[in-house]
A and B are shown apart, each in its own frame.
Chain A
């Protein structure tokens, strides 16, 4: 059980977070960007679970938070996809480069 060191969990979380960040900042397709953001959230979840088990004060609170986080992420994805679909209906595209409305 304790053969896997804590650094391995953290490294996995870090790698997942970096992949997510890279995807969120570079991909052109908005769907992919949303998926990348999910990746980053899940990297955070891994961290939460890891520290709830191997942290300075191990307790169940971290895992509860992870569950909350997953629930919130699910709601966020539902809302995000709904916005994306309505955007697609308006603009006929999911290319993120063309969504520069913030400028105006």
Chain B
């Protein structure tokens, strides 16, 4: 555990190595990336196992000394960090492996692996940071990595735009995080998590200040985790290669926001308003994104909206004082969503389209991907015995126990929608008639299916570390030795589990009747409420609203500033140069070699001198 700081360095080595030698290695660079992330993974698992028996380890060194203020850098291995290390390095390793098959034949193959290494380094660094400042640095590095990966196909206009959008949208949130961080530093004089929590507990910070800083930091999390109203970048980010979507938009970067809120949980917990804000934003995002997911036809966009929705669940859990529930769902979601993305990638790899309207009848053709996709779908829908069922149940109980009944019911409805749209996706891809134009459908190579198998196993069993039946091992461990995080297990009425089960089964049933058996017409609802359908189909016109208001305003300001630039600044500059040039040209013209001209000038100069002399009386 003392050497946990090595974990993020392996991917960094991979990044630097591939940056230098990638061109020579070509596709062999995959092995460099895979081996080094495997090293990270093994080390992370060792750290996690060690952490079970030992207490939190923290090491720091002075980084900067400013006056009598010392900024430190180091690493910390607490329960949450150890868990995150394993999740991130595991998913990263699997994605590295999967990409070897998926990106095969790409011209910039080594570059892709280099970027993956950079991103993994940033993310692993983020989860072991012991203070806010370090977190912020890695937070931004994660943003850079994601920008590079989303824009990997930079020759596509849409990918370029998506990368920029992701970067700018998350930057908006980061401003909130930065301000919140500075305010916290101003109030407590430290970036250290421990010292901040101690100050909060002692009451050294006023209540309003706690609320303010918590909400500002939450804005950062909103940006990174794609919560409403900064969610619009996440669906667009699907322009990146599919393994990237699995890595960034399922398990790591988007979870960073949830991780941030979780690691600052004592701060949030000290303010009721902040907690309520987190819960409301979370619940709203969960239902909001779920409704959009109902009508999307792009396989990856459906998954993107479902990610947004599930992240909303996690926020709801954290906002409802369900620390364990939030982190638990973060873990299970990382596994089954990564599985779904990788399976979707496998489907796309096979049929070369992302439009689910054009798919169908792939169950027999993709005999391996199909069942794996089904497992992921079952897990996310919250079908009993799969991991998603247990974590979602925890969240619902947390929301109920906290007394947020409207939010609880919102979450239940969102769960119904989730089950419905996930199975809509599943049935549209795999059931029904095979399309004639899809003759050359072939199963993906084993380098792609193996990571999916690992994730599928985890998607099934990961839930059993924290169940109401076999003990809440994970929950107890997570909160061990830290009362500020709440209880390891929140007791809730037993009927919640039944409701959750019924709701998800109902969603599945409805999806089956509509898209597989077709006993209910597909446009039964859309033909009856075309207006609502249109609104949802267009994602509530959020993008359009932003374009009309914020983007338009920004453009107007930039136009105005450009006007100043062109006419004022450039005008002055041009005037100066023109004056100097004119002077030079005149001087050159005068020096023409004619004695008479020289004489004239000498005479004029003398006359001017005499005039000045006469006027001033010789006193100049």
Q: Are the CB atoms of A102 and B593 closer together than 8 Å?
A: yes
Size bracket of the A interface: 10 to 19
Nearest-neighbor residue (CB-CB) of B591 within chain A: A103
**B596 interface contact, C-beta 8 A:** yes
> What DSSP secondary structure best describes chain B's contact surface?
helix
A99 and chain B: residue at smallest CB distance: B595
| Chain B residues within 8 Å of A103, by CB | 591-593
Q: Which of chain A's residues have a CB closer than 8 A to the CB of B598? A: 102
Q: Give residues 178-204 of B contacting A (CB, 8 Å).
A: none
Assess whether B599 is interfacial by the CB under 8 Å rule: yes
Chain A residue numbers with a CB within 8 Å of B592 are 100, 103
Whether the Cβ atoms of A25 and B591 lie closer than 8 Å is no
- Chain B contacts for A21, CB-based, 8 A: 603
Q: Are A100 and B594 in contact, CB atoms less than 8 angstroms apart?
A: yes
- Answer yes or no: B206 CB below 8 A from chain A CBs: no
In Å, the complex CA distance between A96 and B600 comes to 14
**Least Cβ distance of A40 to chain B in Å?**
11
A100 to B593, CA, bound (A): 4
Q: With the chains together, A100 CA to B603 CA distance in Å?
A: 19
Of chain B, the residue at the smallest CB distance from A28 is B596
Measured CB to CB, the nearest residue on chain A to B600 is: A25
In chain A, what residue has the closest Cβ to B597?
A: A25
Give bound CA distance, A96 to B594, whole Å: 8
Residue picked from A25, A26, A33, A101, most chain B C-beta under 10 Å: A25
Pair A24/B594 contact, Cβ less than 8 Å: no
* A21 to B593 alpha-carbon distance, docked (Å): 19
Q: How far is the CB of B592 from chain A (nearest CB, A)?
A: 6
Q: Which of B591, B594, B599, B600 contacts A97 (CB 8 A)?
A: B594
Question: Which has the most chain A C-beta neighbours within 10 Å: B595, B599, B600?
Answer: B595
Say if the beta carbon of A3 comes within 8 Å of chain B: no
Q: Mark A79-104, 1 if CB is under 8 A from B, else 0.
A: 00000000000000000110111111
Question: Within 8 Å CB of B603, what residues of A?
Answer: 21, 25
Min CB distance B259 to A, Å, is 78
Interface string of A20-35 (1 = CB under 8 A from B): 0100111000000100
Extra 18 A-B pairs, beta carbons < 8 Å, given A25-B599, A102-B593, A102-B595 = A21-B603, A24-B599, A25-B596, A25-B600, A25-B603, A33-B596, A96-B594, A96-B595, A99-B595, A100-B592, A100-B593, A100-B594, A101-B593, A102-B598, A103-B591, A103-B592, A103-B593, A104-B593
Interface positions of B (Cβ within 8 A of A): 591-596, 598-600, 603
A-B contact pairs, 25 of them (CB 8 A): A24-B596, A24-B599, A25-B596, A25-B599, A25-B600, A25-B603, A26-B596, A33-B596, A96-B594, A96-B595, A96-B596, A97-B594, A99-B595, A100-B592, A100-B593, A100-B594, A101-B593, A102-B593, A102-B594, A102-B595, A102-B598, A103-B591, A103-B592, A103-B593, A104-B593
A-side residues, CB < 8 A to B, are 21, 24-26, 33, 96-97, 99-104
Closest 8 CB pairs of A and B: A103-B593, A100-B593, A102-B593, A25-B600, A25-B596, A25-B599, A100-B594, A103-B592
